[in-house]
Structure 1
Amino acid sequence: MKNFIQTLKNIWSIEELRSRILTTLALLLVFRIGSYIVLPGIDAQALAAANEGGGGLAGLLNLFTGGAFNRASIFSLGIMPYISASIIMQLMGIAVPTIQKMQKEGASGQKKINQYTRFLTIVITGFQAPGYIAASVPESARLYDTPFWWVTVIVILTSGTLFVMWLGERITDRGVGNGISLLIMIGIIAGLPGAFFQEVIASLGSEGNGLVMLLIELIALLVVIAATVALVQAVRRVPIQFPKRQVGNRQYSEGARQYIPLKVNSAGVMPIIFAQAIMFVPLYIAQYSESSSGFFVELANFAGFWYNAIFFVMVVAFTYFYTAITVNPNQMADDLKRNGGFIPGVKPGRSTADFLDTVLSRITLPGAIFLGFIAILPVFAMQAGVKQAFSIFFGGTSLLIMVGVILDTLQQIESYLLMRHYDGLMKTGKLAGRASTFGMAG
C-alpha cells in the first residue's frame, strides 16, 4: 500500500502527466454528462417504460454507449458510426489504389484519410439516425412527430457522434491512452455496478442459485480476466544478434541478448471492435423488418447460434487482417539488416522477412482462436444461469476492451514514470508490450 501511495505521488509530481490525466478525466466527464441529455421532443419517462427489460444485441449496443442508446440521448449512436467508417476506409486501403497511395505518404496521407473517415462518418450517421429513431423510440414517447422534428433530431444525433469523435481525438492527442477505446470502455464500466448488483439480488433471491454459485461465478470471472490479460500480454521472443564493435583498441561484444517481441495478439482489441460494429448491422435491418423471423432477425439474436458462429469467424479473420496491416515483417527485416543485426541461423533480408512472417502466422492462429472464444464466452455464461446483463462481462467485447484499454493506458503512464527515473507501476517487473520493436531480454 505504501508503494502504491508513493506511485500516485510520483504520477502527480510530473506536470505533463498530471495535466494529461486531468484532461482525460474532464473529457470523459463531458461524455458521461452528454449521455444523459435526452433529445428534444422525447418523453424520457415513456421511453424508459418502453425500453424496460430490453436486452439482446440492442442491450449490448446500449452497453457500449453507457446507457445513452436506451435513453435516446444526444450521444445515442456513440462512436460506432466512426468505427464503421474506419473499417470501410481500411478495407478500401486494400482495394483502392488512391487510398493505398495515401497510406504510403506518411503523416500527410494519414491526415487525408482521417478527413475522409470523418466525412464517411457523417454519411453513416445520417443513415443510422432515422433508423434509430424509428425503431428505438416508440410513437408514445415522441412529443412531436413532424418533419421538422425529424430533421432536428437527425442533425443533433449526427452532431453528437461527431462531438464524441472529437472527444476521442482530443483524449488521444492531449490525454492518456487511446481516446476512442477509452470512450467505449467508460461506457462499459458505467454498466458494471448495476449489472453486478442485479446478479447478486437474483442469486440471493428465492429463485436464485444461492451464495455458493455466486462465489463460483466471481471466481470464474477472475479466471477469465486472468486469461484475457495473459492473451493481451503474451509475446514470442525472436532472438537477434549484432556483430562485435571495435572502438579504438577495445572490442565490444553485443552485450545482453536482444530479441524482437512478437505479440500473440498484435491486433489488440481492434478485431473485436470491428467485428462487433459489423454485427450491429443485422440489428438495424431487423428493426426495419416487420417480421419476427428471418435471417437478419436471427443474426440480431445475441444468444443465437448464427450470431455467435459468424461473430467468432469474424473475430479470427479481423485478427489476421489487422495484424497484417500493423506488423510489417519486411520493414523489421530491413531495419535489422540496416543495423547489422541478424536472427541466428537465418540469412538477412528476404529470408529474415519470411521467417518473421511464418512465426507471426503461427502465433497469431492460437491467439485469434482464443480471442474468438473469449468473444462468445458470454453465451456460455448465460447458459450456465448468469443473467445477461452480468454475463456480458464474462468475456466478449466488453471484457476484452476493458482489459486491453486499461493495460494500454497503464503502459503509457508507466513510460512517463520510467522516463523520469521513477519506479514503474509494477515494482517487480514491467508491463508487457511496452517495449519498442527491439527489446532487451531481462
Structure 2
Amino acid sequence: MGTLKDSWNSPEIKKKLLFTFLIISVLSLLTIIPIPGLNHYTAINTIREWGSLGTILNTLSCGALSNAAITSLGIYPFLVASIIMQILTLAIPKLRNMAQMGEEGTKTVTKYTRIASVAMSVIFGALYCIGMKNAVTSKLNFWLAIVLCGLAVAIGSAFCGWCVELLNNKGIGDGLTIIIVAGIIHNIPRDVVMLYFDAESVNVYLALGFMILGIFLMIGMLFLVLLINMGEKKLRIIFSKRTVGMKQFGMQNMVLPLKVTQAGIMPIIYSMTIILLVPSILTMIAPESENIWFTGAKNFPTSAAFIPLYVVLVVAFAFIFSMMQFNPYEISSQIKQNGGYIQGVKPGKPTAQYLMSVFSNLNSADCAFLILVSIVPMILNFIPSVNGIAYSGVGLILIGGGFIEMKTLLDNALKAEEEKLKLAGKDKKRKNYNKK
C-alpha cells in the first residue's frame, strides 16, 4: 500500500495508473455490447456449449464471451500471434538479427507482431462465425448478418491487442498480465458463488461452510504465492580495486539478487495458449456437435490428458524464460571482465559452474511451485462434488505474480523519479552558482 500511495503522489506515475485504469474500464464496458447480426439469447446458449474451454476463454475476454459481446475473443488471438512471432524470430536468422539491432529492430518486430495479431483476429473471427451460424438473427439477410458478426468480433479482438500495446507503452506493467489479471478478478465473485451452488444439493449448511472454507483457502494460497514470488537468493560479488598514486580504481562491491520465480507468470500463459489452440479451433467450428472429437476438445482442459501436457510445457517455458532473464555464462563473463568474483568462489569456470548450479536449483523450485499450485486444484476437480475449481490455482499464480510485477515496476518508476529530482536539484544549484 505504501508503494501505491507514493506512486499516486507522483504526477507522472499517477498519469500512467489512471491511463491503465481507463483502458481496463473501456474493455469492461465493451463486454456488455452485443455482437450485431446474432440473436443474443441463442448466441449465449451456444457459448454455454463450449464447456470448460469456454471458462478459460471467458477469462481472457474479461467476461465478454459469456455475454456474446464484441470482444468475445479477448486477447487470445494476440497471444497466439505473439507466440508465433517469437518462434519465427528464433527460427529465421533475418528476424533474429533484426530483434538484436536495438530500438529500431524491436519496433520492426513489434510492427510484424501487430500485423500477425490482426490476421489472427480475422481468422478466429471467421471461425467464431462458423460456429454461430445457427444463432444468426432472422431479421437480417443471413450473409449480411454473418459478415457483421465476423467484422465485429475481429475488430473487437484487434482492439484488445491494441490495448495491450497501449498498456505496454503508456501504462504500468505488462499489458497482457494486466488484462489477464483483470479478467480473473472479474470472475472471482461468480467462482465463489459457484462453490456454494455445487454443494447446495447435499446440504445448505454444508454448502455455506464449503464456500467459506474455499474463500479462506484461496486467501491462504494467495499469500503463499506472494511470498514465493518475493523470495530471492542474494549473491555477494566482490570487485578487486587497483591503487594508483593516492587514488583507488574499481567497482564497488554489490549484491546480485536472484528471484526464485525468474520466469514469472509467462510459462503459465504460454502453456495454456498453446495447449488450447487446437481445442479452441474445434470448439468454435462446431460448439454443439456430439462428435467424440469435438466433445473431447471442449472438455480437454478438465481431462486427465491435459495435466501431463501442461506439466511438460510449463517446465520447458520456465527454463526458456529463466534463461532469458538470467544467463549464468554471460553473468560469469561480465564478473570476470570487471575484475570481480563471488564470495567463496574462484573467478572464471568455477563461477560459471556455481551460477549454473544456482540457476538450476532456483528453476527447479520455480517449476515445482508452478506445477504444485496449479495442478492440485485440477486433480481435486475430478471429485464429483468439487467442481469449478480446476483453474483456481492458475488464477492465484497469475494474480500474485501480476501484483508483484506491478509493485516492482512501481518501485523502479519511483526510484527513477527520485533520480530525476536529484539531477534537477543539482542543475538548479549549478545555475544559481554560475549566476553568482
The bucket for the TM-score relative to the shorter chain is 0.7 to 0.9
Read off the aligned partner of 2:168 and give its amino acid letter: T
**Paired residues of 1:238 and 1:259 also in contact (CA < 8 A):** yes
Evaluate the alpha carbon distance shift between residue 246 and residue 35 of structure 1 in structure 2; reply closer, same or farther with a 3 A threshold.
farther
Evaluate the alpha carbon distance shift between residue 176 and residue 347 of structure 1 in structure 2; reply closer, same or farther with a 3 A threshold.
same
Which of 396, 403, 407 is the equivalent residue of 2:404? 407
Which of 210, 215, 223 is the equivalent residue of 1:213? 210
Q: Which residue of 1 aligns with 2:119?
A: 123
Q: Which residue of 2 aligns with 1:240?
A: 237
Q: Which residue of 2 aligns with 1:86?
A: 82
Offset of 1:15 from its aligned partner? Answer: 0.8
Q: Name structure 2 gaps, 5 residues minimum.
A: 420-436
Kindly tell me the number of residue pairs found equivalent between the two proteins: 414
Q: Tell me the distance in 2 between the aligned counterparts of 1:95 and 1:10.
A: 44
3-state DSSP class of the match of 1:42? coil
Q: Tell me the distance in 1 between the aligned counterparts of 2:312 and 2:59.
A: 23
Q: Tell me the distance in 2 between the aligned counterparts of 1:331 and 1:51.
A: 49
Q: Name structure 1 gaps, 5 residues minimum.
A: 423-442
3-state DSSP class of the match of 1:93? helix
Question: Is it true that 1:395 corresponds to 2:382 in the alignment?
Answer: no
Question: Is it true that 1:21 corresponds to 2:20 in the alignment?
Answer: no
Evaluate the alpha carbon distance shift between residue 414 and residue 119 of structure 1 in structure 2; reply closer, same or farther with a 3 A threshold.
same
1:2-401 to 2 correspondences below 5 Å: 10-52=6-48, 55-135=51-131, 137=132, 139-143=134-138, 144=140, 146-200=142-196, 202-203=198-199, 207-208=203-204, 209-244=206-241, 246=243, 249=246, 258-287=254-283, 288=285, 290=289, 292-294=291-293, 297=296, 300-349=299-348, 351-383=350-382, 388-389=387-388, 391-392=389-390, 394-396=392-394, 398-401=395-398
Q: Deviations over 1:123-171 (max 9, x none)?
A: 2222211222323x36145344633433333233222222112212112
**Paired residues of 1:35 and 1:74 also in contact (CA < 8 A):** yes
Offset of 1:384 from its aligned partner? Answer: 5.1
Evaluate the alpha carbon distance shift between residue 74 and residue 229 of structure 1 in structure 2; reply closer, same or farther with a 3 A threshold.
same
**Paired residues of 2:53 and 2:300 also in contact (CA < 8 A):** yes
TM-score by length of 2: 0.84
Offset of 1:393 from its aligned partner? Answer: 5.5
Which piece of structure 1 moves more, 259-268 or 27-36? 259-268
**Paired residues of 1:313 and 1:372 also in contact (CA < 8 A):** no
Evaluate the alpha carbon distance shift between residue 107 and residue 284 of structure 1 in structure 2; reply closer, same or farther with a 3 A threshold.
same
**Paired residues of 1:131 and 1:284 also in contact (CA < 8 A):** no
Which piece of structure 1 moves more, 345-354 or 221-230? 345-354
Q: Tell me the distance in 2 between the aligned counterparts of 1:76 and 1:317.
A: 30
Q: Deviations over 1:166-203 (max 9, x none)?
A: 21211222221111211111111111112213324555
Evaluate the alpha carbon distance shift between residue 148 and residue 352 of structure 1 in structure 2; reply closer, same or farther with a 3 A threshold.
farther
Offset of 1:25 from its aligned partner? Answer: 0.7
Determine what percentage of the aligned residue pairs are the same residue. Answer: 25
Which piece of structure 1 moves more, 94-103 or 290-299? 290-299
**Paired residues of 1:47 and 1:138 also in contact (CA < 8 A):** no
Instruction: Give the helix-richer structure, 1 or 2.
Output: 2
Evaluate the alpha carbon distance shift between residue 367 and residue 11 of structure 1 in structure 2; reply closer, same or farther with a 3 A threshold.
closer
Which piece of structure 1 moves more, 182-191 or 365-374? 365-374
**Paired residues of 1:319 and 1:368 also in contact (CA < 8 A):** yes
3-state DSSP class of the match of 2:114? helix
Offset of 1:324 from its aligned partner? Answer: 2.4
3-state DSSP class of the match of 1:239? strand
Q: Deviations over 1:219-264 (max 9, x none)?
A: 3223322332233222232332112464864779987x63322222
Read off the aligned partner of 1:330 and give its amino acid letter: Y
Evaluate the alpha carbon distance shift between residue 293 and residue 375 of structure 1 in structure 2; reply closer, same or farther with a 3 A threshold.
same
TM-score by length of 1: 0.83
Q: Deviations over 1:11-67 (max 9, x none)?
A: 332111111111111111111111221111122233334445864121121122111
- RMSD over equivalenced CA pairs, Å: 3.0
The structure with the larger Rg is 2
